[in-house]
Amino acid sequence: MADIQSTTAAAPLIIRRSDYRPPDWLVPEITLDFDLDAAATRVHATLSVVRNGGQDRPLRLDGDGLLPLEVKVDGRALGPDEWALDGGALVIALPGQAHVVETRVELAPEGNSKLMGLYASSGLLCTQCEAEGFRRITFFPDRPDVLSRYTVRMEADKARYPVLLANGDPVGQGDLPGGRHWARWNDPFPKPCYLFALVAGDLACNADRFVTMSGQEVALGIWVKKADLPRTAHAMKALKDSMAWDERVYGREYDLDVFNIVAVADFNFGAMENKGLNIFNSRYILADPETATDLDYDGVEGVVAHEYFHNWSGNRITCRDWFQLSLKEGFTVFRDQSFSADMGSRAVKRIEDVRILRAAQFQEDSGPLAHPVRPESYMEISNFYTATIYNKGAELIRMMALMLGPERFRASTDLYFERHDGEAATCEDFVRAMEDGGGVDLAQFRLWYEQAGTPRVRALLNHDADAGTAELVLEQTVPPTPGQPDKKPMAIPLRVALFDPQSGQHRGDQLLMLTEAKQAFTFTGFAQPPVLSINRGFSAPVIVESNRSQADLAFLSARDDDPFARYEAMQQLMVNVLVGSIGGQPVDEAAVVAAIRHTATDPQLDPAFVAEAIRLPSEAYLGDQMAVVDPDAIHAAREALQRRIGEALEPLWRDIHAGTKANAFSLSPAAKGARKLRNIALHYLVASGAQDGPEIAFGQFHEADNMTERQAALATLANGASDAREAALDIFYNRYRDDALTLDKWFQTQAFAFHPDTVQLVAELREHKDFTLTNPNRVRSLFGAFAGNQWAFHDKSGKGYRLVADCIIALDKINPQTAARLVPPLGRWRRFDEGRAAMMRAELERILTEPDLSRDVTEQAGKSLE
Ligand code: ARG
Ligand code: ZN
């Protein structure tokens, strides 16, 4: 096996969207027979293949690390000169139009540390095929536009693997001699191989049922380790809510008799939408008050919904090729965001989603890895499961939904589902359905799929007192990105309102379409200069720069009736003060304090909204506002303002903290909002420097009946150097040392901490007996969190860079996909001073000199240096 892997590691190849060609051979049917075993699994595949189009090319079946033990065509075993291996792929010249091809291979799931293909995870056997994992299981045309009907038979030791699951419906099972058993599953829906899945193991089931809108009964199962069963209730509720929501909002009904979800501990990302058998990272299934924060609960709900919604946006209609990935991911993120908004607070959900977009996607869009929502080329497709494809992709759908309005948007999605059901479609197909169903012209809008980079919109509002008019001048620029030096103006939908500062009212929300580089809009009937509220609801994923004064922003932070715009005004007020003070300008901190006081004492506001609005912008977001990021100055300025807010409003923080103490845990929006507000009050109280701050935090840590308050108290303590810090970390460790998901929080909290010794602490935690590179969640909770801690990661010693680079190098040998995800923070070197930039580059260069570096890391590190 080892030899094969090394011979298949071909030179980095660039795949281009413009090279797309329909498949040479189709595979309408496949039968898979698995003889499962952790050390040696045998796979017998029978493919019915049909020549596609008038060409005479041989059959080429992708493979990665596979050696054929037998190859048969139409029942006859081929000799060794009748097939060839080419870059891992099996090539067979076939004479006719249709044949039956059989292959046998052997796999070692327990040695599969990449977690792609068939692998072992704490006693289970499971699969991950998207994007190109199926070729690690059997020889097959591993591309999403080859759709097949699957029949799967599994055979395994019954004691070790009592449960055998695959896609579709179960159609048979039975016992075999020698303590073995078998099961057969049939999936009636033709699907691409990236949606194939099987699971074998000792699993317990939370079983439930759902009756669809046409009266079909669906058996639902959430399969976990027996001890985890009590932690599956929230996921089951989320699943049933999602099924009902997709019927109500999109008219989409589930289509099989069973729907199963399995939680596994070792998983490269969030979850996977395999047809009828979703496989999840256990962190997005398991939740109870003792171990899950409110954020974790929301994560479970959102990801369960996301994977379920893929059944239509992804499975019934899949992608023609991987350049179309956002067709399913952008749309499905938009769908899960809308669902979560309906289940909780719409305003807070939008604020959270924009915060994620800005933190992840705007950063990506302004760096060396920037790419369009529909990329033109890639080296390793796993590197393109990005915030741009997912989150910016969702914003594109959201803009189209806004421009169409709810009825026409629904008509367009109906058309899309009807027109392309059962097909492998393109982003262009989606946009055309929006045009045809909505009766709009999206010619210019298509640039959003083609052009990378976050557009900047300058908004200047001029008032003419004599004419009684206000003129809004909008100017847009789209920055150059790799491979795209010059950009065309985009079609940018901006929701705008003009407020009369006297009455505090506006005359209605308007949707302005900015389509030119520069455009002016005139509004009449304004004797007094109005106050501009722009990009309300974050109607377009752009950066807005305006000439609004601090007084205007304070006004909007108190009066804007669009909750996102109100939040945004407050954030901008804070950004101006922080960036001003970093630049050594005189700033009015009192205005921030006053605005926070006003918001925090407004009885009309939802506490969850208040908590969002009064929170200071992150250090990373402040860095994004600067020409050259100065992590130390940002940290110092933010800490100082935090302390000032803490001191100035200390009685208020004490009041809120005492007044939000709940009696018993509940997941009601009110209870969640109260916890969110309580935690930020605690944070400001401790930031004030009050003598009893650490004691109060420790009290909350100790008394909390839920993880939301316990972890927030721990995080607050972890920033400082009190005795309570060490005590709380020890207690937390001892309480959760045997619970991997919760122990992740212990690592993560320390890696995120604003503690002067964080770099050293992370270096020590890397050596901790509970740290391992083989579990992606554990790696992310230490190194992913650390790389997101701007102040610590960018420590001017450069030690933070070395720590992360060392991790990338070591992890690349185990799990390249997860290693590659740690590269982008190092790739942002152009944003920093020369000293830091040189050290970051040096680490990237060091990574690239490693022998046998994966394609995943090669692409990310190489592009980062270009
Ligand atoms: N389709 C999955 C989801 O978003 C994610 C698959 C990620 N695959 C990867 N190679 N990173 O629901
Ligand atoms: Zn997805």
For each successive 10 residues of the chain (866 residues), what is the average pLDDT? 42 89 98 98 99 97 98 98 97 98 98 98 98 98 99 98 98 98 98 99 98 98 98 99 99 98 98 99 98 98 99 99 99 99 97 98 98 98 98 99 98 99 99 98 98 98 97 98 98 98 95 98 96 98 97 98 98 98 96 98 97 98 98 98 98 97 90 98 98 97 97 97 94 98 98 98 98 98 98 98 99 98 98 98 98 98 97
Q: Is 557 in the pocket of ligand 1 (CB under 6 A)?
A: no
The answer to whether the CB of 43 falls within 8 A of the CB of 65 is: no
Q: Closest ligand to 336 CA?
A: 2
Protein residue with its CA nearest to atom 1 in ligand 1: 272
Cα of 394 vs centre of ligand 1, distance in Å, is 15
Q: Is 747 in the pocket of ligand 1 (CB under 6 A)?
A: no
The answer to whether the CB of 547 falls within 8 A of the CB of 460 is: yes
How far is the C-alpha of 346 from the C-alpha of 342, rounded, in Å? Answer: 6
Cα of 272 vs centre of ligand 2, distance in Å, is 7
> Among the atoms of ligand 1, which is closest to the Cα of residue 131?
10
Residue 215 region by backbone torsions, left for phi larger than 0, else alpha for psi between -120 and 50, else beta: left
Residue 263 region by backbone torsions, left for phi larger than 0, else alpha for psi between -120 and 50, else beta: beta
Helix (H, G, I), strand (E, B) or coil at 637: helix
460-548 has the same fold as 27-202:
yes
> Among the atoms of ligand 1, which is closest to the Cα of residue 307?
12
Q: Is 843 in the pocket of ligand 1 (CB under 6 A)?
A: no
Tell me which amino acid residue 493 is: P
> Among the atoms of ligand 1, which is closest to the Cα of residue 329?
4
pTM over 0.75: yes
The answer to whether the CB of 209 falls within 8 A of the CB of 168 is: no
List residues with catalytic annotation: 307
Q: Closest ligand to 114 CA?
A: 1
The answer to whether the CB of 330 falls within 8 A of the CB of 392 is: yes
Backbone angles phi, psi at 398, to 5 degrees: -60, -40
Q: Is 273 in the pocket of ligand 1 (CB under 6 A)?
A: yes
Which single residue is written with the structure tokens 């039968």? 31
745-760 core/surface letters (b: 16 or more CB in 10 A; e: else) = bbbbbbbbbbbeebbe
Q: How many CA atoms lie within 13 A of 222 on its CB side?
A: 27
Cα of 279 vs centre of ligand 2, distance in Å, is 12
Q: Is 228 in the pocket of ligand 1 (CB under 6 A)?
A: no
For residue 690, the model assigns a pLDDT of: 97
For residue 664, the model assigns a pLDDT of: 87
For residue 5, the model assigns a pLDDT of: 41
Cα of 418 vs centre of ligand 2, distance in Å, is 21
Tell me which amino acid residue 82 is: E
Q: Helices 233-250 and 406-420, interaxial angle, to 10°?
A: 100
Cis-peptide, bond into residue 713, ω within 30° of zero: no
> Among the atoms of ligand 1, which is closest to the Cα of residue 381?
10
The answer to whether the CB of 459 falls within 8 A of the CB of 472 is: yes
Protein residue with its CA nearest to atom 2 in ligand 1: 272
Q: Which CATH fold topology does 737-866 show?
A: Zincin-like fold (1.25.50)
For residue 425, the model assigns a pLDDT of: 99
Q: How many CB atoms lie within 10 A of CB 730?
A: 10
The answer to whether the CB of 847 falls within 8 A of the CB of 861 is: yes
Helix (H, G, I), strand (E, B) or coil at 87: coil
The answer to whether the CB of 744 falls within 8 A of the CB of 777 is: yes
Cα of 329 vs centre of ligand 1, distance in Å, is 9
Q: Closest ligand to 384 CA?
A: 1
Cα–Cα distances in angstroms (integers) from residue 739 to residues 282, 734, 735, in the given order? 12, 10, 9
Cα of 61 vs centre of ligand 1, distance in Å, is 23
- HEC string for 403-465: HHCHHHHHHHHHHHHHHHCCCEECHHHHHHHHHHHHCCCCCCCCHHHHCCCCCEEEEEEEEEC
Cα of 561 vs centre of ligand 1, distance in Å, is 37
Q: Closest ligand to 195 CA?
A: 1
How far is the C-alpha of 155 from the C-alpha of 164, rounded, in Å? Answer: 8
Pocket perturbation via mutation, ligand 1, pick of 279, 333, 335, 385 by most ligand atoms within 8 A of CB:
385
Cα of 582 vs centre of ligand 1, distance in Å, is 40
The answer to whether the CB of 98 falls within 8 A of the CB of 29 is: no
Cα of 547 vs centre of ligand 1, distance in Å, is 41
How far is the C-alpha of 327 from the C-alpha of 147, rounded, in Å? Answer: 17
Tell me which amino acid residue 514 is: L
Pocket perturbation via mutation, ligand 1, pick of 134, 136, 261, 269 by most ligand atoms within 8 A of CB:
269
The answer to whether the CB of 392 falls within 8 A of the CB of 384 is: no
Protein residue with its CA nearest to atom 5 in ligand 1: 272
What are the residues facing 99 on neighbouring strands?
Answer: 49
Q: Is 130 in the pocket of ligand 1 (CB under 6 A)?
A: yes
Cα of 201 vs centre of ligand 1, distance in Å, is 23
Residue 358: DSSP 8-state: I
> Among the atoms of ligand 1, which is closest to the Cα of residue 390?
4
- In this structure, what token pair is assigned to residue 541? 């994923």
Q: Is 119 in the pocket of ligand 1 (CB under 6 A)?
A: no
Q: Is 271 in the pocket of ligand 1 (CB under 6 A)?
A: yes
> Among the atoms of ligand 1, which is closest to the Cα of residue 303?
12
Q: How many CB atoms lie within 10 A of CB 42?
A: 15
For residue 722, the model assigns a pLDDT of: 86
Q: Closest ligand to 335 CA?
A: 2
Q: Which CATH fold topology does 460-548 show?
A: Immunoglobulin-like (2.60.40)
Q: Closest ligand to 333 CA?
A: 2
Sequence-distant (6+) residues with CB within 8 A of 13 are: 379
Cα of 597 vs centre of ligand 2, distance in Å, is 40
Residue 537: DSSP 8-state: G
Rounding to the nearest 10 degrees, give the CA dihedral for residues 681, 684, 690, 695: 50
Burial of 441 (0-12, 13-18, 19+ CB in 10 A): exposed
Backbone angles phi, psi at 414, to 5 degrees: -60, -45
> Among the atoms of ligand 1, which is closest to the Cα of residue 132?
10
> Among the atoms of ligand 1, which is closest to the Cα of residue 385?
11
Protein residue with its CA nearest to atom 12 in ligand 1: 272
Cα of 339 vs centre of ligand 1, distance in Å, is 20
Cα–Cα distances in angstroms (integers) from residue 200 to residues 56, 136, 414, in the given order? 40, 18, 37
Q: Is 269 in the pocket of ligand 1 (CB under 6 A)?
A: yes
Sequence-distant (6+) residues with CB within 8 A of 667 are: 234, 294, 297
Q: Is 313 in the pocket of ligand 1 (CB under 6 A)?
A: no
Q: Is 319 in the pocket of ligand 1 (CB under 6 A)?
A: no
Q: Is 380 in the pocket of ligand 1 (CB under 6 A)?
A: no
Protein residue with its CA nearest to atom 10 in ligand 1: 382
Q: Is 307 in the pocket of ligand 1 (CB under 6 A)?
A: yes
Q: Is 195 in the pocket of ligand 1 (CB under 6 A)?
A: no
How far is the C-alpha of 360 from the C-alpha of 35, rounded, in Å? Answer: 42
> Among the atoms of ligand 1, which is closest to the Cα of residue 272?
2
The answer to whether the CB of 664 falls within 8 A of the CB of 705 is: yes
Helices (H) and strands (E) in the chain, counts: 32, 31
Q: For the chain, first and last CA: distance in Å?
A: 35
Tell me which amino acid residue 193 is: C
Q: Closest ligand to 334 CA?
A: 2
Report the largest interatomic distance among the alpha carbons of the chain, rounded to a whole angstrom.
96
Q: Where are the domains of the chain?
A: 27-202, 318-450, 460-548, 737-866
CATH label, 27-202, candidates 3.40.50.720, 2.102.10.10, 3.10.129.10, 2.60.40.1730: 2.60.40.1730
Q: Is 856 in the pocket of ligand 1 (CB under 6 A)?
A: no
Q: Is 132 in the pocket of ligand 1 (CB under 6 A)?
A: no
Protein residue with its CA nearest to atom 8 in ligand 1: 130
> Among the atoms of ligand 1, which is closest to the Cα of residue 116?
10
- HEC string for 780-794: HHHHHHHHCCHHHHC
Q: What beta strand segments (E) does 204-270 contain?
A: 204-211, 217-224, 258-264
Cα of 785 vs centre of ligand 2, distance in Å, is 22
Pocket perturbation via mutation, ligand 1, pick of 114, 142, 272 by most ligand atoms within 8 A of CB:
272
Tell me the pairing of strands 117-121 and 277-281.
unpaired
CATH label, 318-450, candidates 1.10.3720.10, 1.10.390.10, 3.30.70.100, 1.10.10.10: 1.10.390.10
Q: What beta strand segments (E) does 311-367 contain?
A: 318-319
